[in-house]
Amino acid sequence: MSTSALPDYSFSNVAQLFGANCRTLSFRPEGAVFTTKRQQIYHYPWASFEPKLKHYRGSFFDTIVLNWEDQRVRLNGVTKADVTGLIDDLYFHALTGQETAILEQYQQLTQVIEQGYIPHSKWLSLKQKLSPWADWLEILPQINHIPPTLKLPLAHLRFWQQSQDDNLDKYNQAVMNKHKQSHKILFDNLESHPLTEKQRDACVVANDANLVLAGAGCGKTSVMLGRCAYLLESQQATADSILILAFAKDAAQEMKTRLAERLPNAKITVKTFHALALDIIKQVDGGKPKISKLASSDSAKQQFFKQSIAALLLDNEVLDKDLRDEDFKALFSEYCYAYVAWLGKLPENKHDAEVQRLLAGKGGYKKLLSQLVELTMQYKNTLTDKSKQKLNALSDTHFAALTHEIVEILLGFYEADLHENNELDFDGMITKACDYVSNGQFNSPWLHILVDEFQDISQARASLVRQLQTQHDDSKLFCVGDDWQAIYQFAGSDIAVTTRFSDYFGITCTLPLDTTFRFNDQISAVASKFVMANAEQMDKQITTQSKAKKACVQISYYQLGNDQKNSNKQSDKKANTLLPENELLPVNKLLPANELLLEKKLAQLAANNTGKQKGEGKQKSVLLLARFNFQLPDAKSQAALSLQYPQLEIKAMTVHSAKGQEADNVIVLAMEAGEHGFPCHKRRHPFAEILQPDLSGFPDAEERRLFYVALTRARQQVSLLCNKDKPSDFVEELLAGDYAVTVTK
């Protein structure tokens, strides 16, 4: 400090007699300069000044304690007349000295705000960058003199540093409203009907991870199209930066068709997960991977495992050295005993004979083999750490533990065959592609990832999506699904990825699509209340465009004679008990009582659509649904019904197959209790229960969602044909629970 420069403040000599050490204070652009009564000079930079000072009032003089990181300066002997001005000057010069740093922070904030919607990741990053200024921004209202160039920047910085989630949500909603207005013409004309406000919100939302919960018939495909159109029109994305993922080829093709119709000039990538994995591997390896025939052919898979077990039973020398000492025949025999006991269909004194038949490949061996094949694939593709812990805790003689041993040996053969032939199966393809993305061997070109029917996703597919999402800091994940329609747990889908979305993909913006264009308010009231009996389903309040004056879910009873009951038992015995959700079940004609009631319902519907007989109007569509394929009319019977009722367009399928379908009227057949009832009460193999536990713990959780799917296929009316002698638990619940249903004859 120049000796000729006058200090800004001098402190009382009287105070120094009582212990005050500081004599003068001078403000400089780079910091504060203090001199002591012994003429020592100390420089303290503004960059490390801590704004929260302490002011102690005395009888004659005041004391101010200042801090620079770990250095403390005590100013004794400040006169009453000087104290306020000193504090104001101190803050003014401290802020002026940090003007460059403050304006730099403000510029960074402005750049974020100018981009419009602020994703949570950027908001958290912004708050983190502003955290060193937290004390300054907290006391800002108490500072009397702020440099004019810093007033507005500091006010903005303070708002965002102190803002909470709801402030961010309000700001982002305002941004979304502005964008919805700017692109109103697009949203009004993209589809045959203007998009709803909730659909428009879903199109413009721009958080890092976005989950759109779409109720049945709420226009999720329109939202996927609207999202793409908006991204392109607003120039937030180019077509080659957008990826749409679907689960099935048909769904992917439908999306491609819709895009071609609505956005003919946009070459957006639409792929199934398997096709995506195939392309990733092909790009990294320089050639198309070889897919094992075991992946796509159930019969080839069955034959492979049949031969593997036969080889093990006949000659233990085929085993690897590590397994050579394993007495597989004894193990398999023990498993067969446990299997027969678990079935519980034979007296104990007949177990030995049945086991010998199984070991010889006779009796129920085909079912046993099919079951082992299915369990081996489930084990390979769905095993979790939690499942491992449960399996390891079992006693060696437990049925699931025996199954575990058998399955591990069979899986070893399966994987050895893939390795030997340099082949992949479909799940292996997903895993390999995920590895290539995670280790950077594949560089994703996509900044916007859209996933359709997200509730059907598996853990492996979720991992692939996550790896794609995290490759770019500014990527956006947009998933559309409905946890109320999650019905494919048996195929590996995991509802937890939807209900716990943020655990997998980070802070999430969740938006509802809650206006259905399909069914009326009466069907909605029954279906929504029924599925939400399970409190772990995500809460949605579905509204309908169509209103009805009376109940539109009807229950009708049929009663079987003794001969028909016996026939029904035979059908149950023939039905495949291994894969409750698959459709490869025996096809039988409807039982007479059920068939007569069905024909009566069809006749009533036809009579209400008499215009068709006069060559007027359209056919009324009728969808016949059943829990199992063998409960539906066979092809010949269905053709006869179509000829008998030309006023009606009649289709028949299982409820699982009907996902995505709709009709004017739905008739659900064979609503009864039991092993092949609805809900299905087949016993699950204990090994399968460990691999795929019911996460909700709620009885019949997935069956309840399946029933919701059945109800919501109908636009106008649902008829439930119920066995009077053993009525479905779901029908009983509807009647006992004050649901808007009617009982008809």
Q: State how far the Cα of 11 lies from the Cα of 23, in Å rounded to an integer.
A: 5
Tell me what the pLDDT averaged over the chain comes to.
89
Q: Closest by alpha carbon to 97, among 158, 20, 150, 160? A: 150
Res 611: pLDDT = 55
Res 74: pLDDT = 86
Res 587: pLDDT = 39
Q: State how far the Cα of 91 lies from the Cα of 143, in Å rounded to an integer.
A: 7
Lowest mean pLDDT among 306-310, 551-555, 654-658: 306-310
Provide the percentage of residues in the chain whose pLDDT is more than 90: 71
Residue 162 burial by Cβ neighbours in a 10 Å radius (0-12, 13-18, 19+): middle
- If you search the block for the tokens 């540093």, which residue do you land on? 161
Q: Closest by alpha carbon to 648, among 621, 666, 616? A: 621
Task: State yes or no: pLDDT of 319 exceeds 70.
Answer: no
Provide the percentage of residues in the chain whose pLDDT is more than 70: 90
Q: State how far the Cα of 589 lies from the Cα of 568, in Å rounded to an integer.
A: 11
Q: Residue 314's pLDDT band (boundaries 50, 70, 90)?
A: confident
pLDDT, average across residues 278-296? 93
What's the pTM value of the predicted model, to 2 decimals?
0.85
pLDDT, average across residues 611-628? 77
Res 583: pLDDT = 38
In the DSSP assignment, the letter for residue 64 is E
pLDDT in tens, 538-592: 998 999 999 999 999 999 999 876 555 555 555 554 443 333 333 333 434 454 6
Res 326: pLDDT = 53
**8 Å CB contact between 198 and 515:** yes
Q: Residue 333's pLDDT band (boundaries 50, 70, 90)?
A: very high
AA identity, residue 62: D
Task: State yes or no: pLDDT of 110 exceeds 50.
Answer: yes
3-class DSSP state for residue 669? strand
Q: Residue 610's pLDDT band (boundaries 50, 70, 90)?
A: low
Between 611 and 265, name the one with better pLDDT. Answer: 265
Residues near 644 by beta carbon (within 8 Å), at least 6 away in sequence:
599, 602
Lowest mean pLDDT among 268-277, 679-688, 705-714: 679-688
What is the per-residue burial (b if ≥16 Cβ within 10 Å, else e) of 521-545?
Answer: bbbbbbbbebbbebeebbebebebe
3-class DSSP state for residue 207? coil
